[in-house]
Structure 1
Amino acid sequence: MNSELTTLEAVTENGHQTLMTYNPDTSPGSFVSGEIEHFLDCIESGQKPETDGYDALKSLRTIWAMYEAVVSGG
């Protein structure tokens, strides 16, 4: 990623290749607007979100277990 976090590039044997360009909206709240839009689309269509509450909770439990292991020395 470049320093502005707007272009994702890969280094290939032929040099650099741009994989994705993103034009971020830096207004307040804009960073979650895509997530909110995806969530609302899922409600409307009945599809499962890319990350649902169950998956998010599993991730958090893993992180909490790692913190606990560090704090307890295990």
Structure 2
Amino acid sequence: MVLQVALSACTLFMIWITWQGLRTGAVDTLVKGSSVPVYAYRDKNPVSYWLHIIGYIAAIITLPSLLYYLFG
């Protein structure tokens, strides 16, 4: 039951992050050793931006599929 709630919450969080990225044109990226947030902008770095968006969409599809596989 706890795993179902956690995976559902992760799915909703990924949907929110993806929507926010598509709406604003910027997504957070991980940069080793950086203490400030680093963003990939749609205009400045389109490859990194779209790879992050595609990764989020893949997670949005995978997590409910995993829920169905485990508990369906």
The alignment's TM-score, normalised by the length of structure 2, stands at 0.37
The alignment's TM-score, normalised by the length of structure 1, stands at 0.37
Considering Cα pairs closer than 8 Å and 6+ residues apart, tell me whether 1 or 2 has the greater RCO: 2
Q: Going by fraction, where is helix more abundant, 1 or 2?
A: 2
